Each structure stands twice: as structure tokens, then as C-alpha cells.
A and B are shown apart, each in its own frame.
Chain A
Amino acid sequence: GNSVTQMEGPVTLSEEAFLTINCTYTATGYPSLFWYVQYPGEGLQLLLKATKADDKGSNKGFEATYRKETTSFHLEKGSVQVSDSAVYFCAQLNTGTASKLTFGTGTRLQVTL
């Protein structure tokens, strides 16, 4: 079946450090891939997306590249800020899943001064 695996958190970084959150997926066919972010006490916000292999999604300094050969969609940011502290969810949307988003378990990021 379709699934998404994220690295376990929490991830604790100092401000201005480099961030990588790993995400891999299993899927039949060619899913669209997403990163959503959830700030404390809030709903999910779309951070970025990619709909086909080799696409790069980017937003607010975050980037992720759709890698079909490694079935990965790792999230990166060159210099994190305290305001980036949140839970990050990787997700896929597959043509075979009748519009159901399949989420990873989420990775909590804590950025300190």
C-alpha cells in the first residue's frame, strides 16, 4: 500500500543551523508529494509541494526535491529561525487513493537561540 515514513523527532537545532528532515514514500504509480507545517495550537499549512519526479518545491526558504529513484522528498532549509519551530508533516496524494492524503507521523522541530 501507500505509505510515508519520516525521521523520528524531535529535532533540536540552534538558530541559523541547517535543517534536513528526511521523508521517503512507498506508492503505486506517481504520487504528488507535500510538506505541511503545524504551528502549536493550529491547523495544517501547506509549506510546499511537487507533482512529478525531479520537481523542486520551495517556500519561505524551505526546499524539497521529488526523487523518484530514491522515493524521497527530504525537506531542507539553509538557516532556521526560532519561528520555524513547529511540527512538519510529509504527505502523498496518489491517483489510486481517491484523493486521500497519506501522512507521515510528523517531525517536531525545536529551534533555540
Chain B
Amino acid sequence: EAGVTQSPTHLIKTRGQQATLRCSPISGHTSVYWYQQALGLGLQFLLWYDEGEERNRGNFPPRFSGRQFPNYSSELNVNALELEDSALYLCASSLGAGARETQYFGPGTRLLVL
């Protein structure tokens, strides 16, 4: 069974540009989560999508947005990139939502903003 996949693996952008990151969940999983792992800041929750709807959002500005498609894959968009957006962006998926559902992570997209 294929795990969570993310693309691209690496992305280099300049300040002010937009970045689009993609995630495909494990087959049968309907919930997708995005986390940011920035140097020195640990793992921070960004967004949660379930059944095509945004269900929860972390403490990030509105220029971080995303969506979930009918096939449950997801995109994370970061507008007006800033240097501090450089980080590893991890996508995770789970079978459903709730405290008993395990989140499985993809390999991440490493974003570098110059």
C-alpha cells in the first residue's frame, strides 16, 4: 500500500513569489493535515482538511491557504513568500478525524525562500 506522497521534494522561490505544494493521502484516507517544520521552531500545525472542507487552522497568517480535492488530495498555497517561510512542509493523512485516528506522514517538501 502506497504511503502519503508529496511533491515536489524541493522547491526554491524568491521572496514575494507564491508556492504550491501537493499531497496525496493514503488510499481510503479522507483527512489531510499540513504541518510546518522550521528550524528552531519545531513542528507546528498549519491546516486540516476533511471531506473537502477546512476543519481547523493553526496560528498562521491568511497567506497560507489550501484546499482538498474530491479525490482527497490536497494543495497548500503560500502567497507573498517571506524568508522565514523556509521550512520542511509535512503532509499527513488519517482514515477519519478524531483523537483515536493515527496520522501518517509523507516525506515532506523542503521550501527554500531566497
Contact = CB atoms under 8 A, between A and B. Distances in A.
User: Do A and B make up one complex?
Assistant: yes
A51 interface: yes
Contacts, number: 70
A106 to B, nearest CB: 7
Contact of A36 (B48, B88, B105): B105
Contacts of A30: 99
A7 B105 CA distance: 23
Report the interface size class on chain B: 20 to 34
Contacts of A43: 6, 88, 90, 105-108
Interface on chain B toward A: helix, strand, loop, or mixed SS?
strand
Given A34-B102, A43-B107, A98-B55, A103 B43 contact: yes
Contacts of A32: 99-100, 102
Interface in B64-114: 88, 90, 92, 94, 97-108
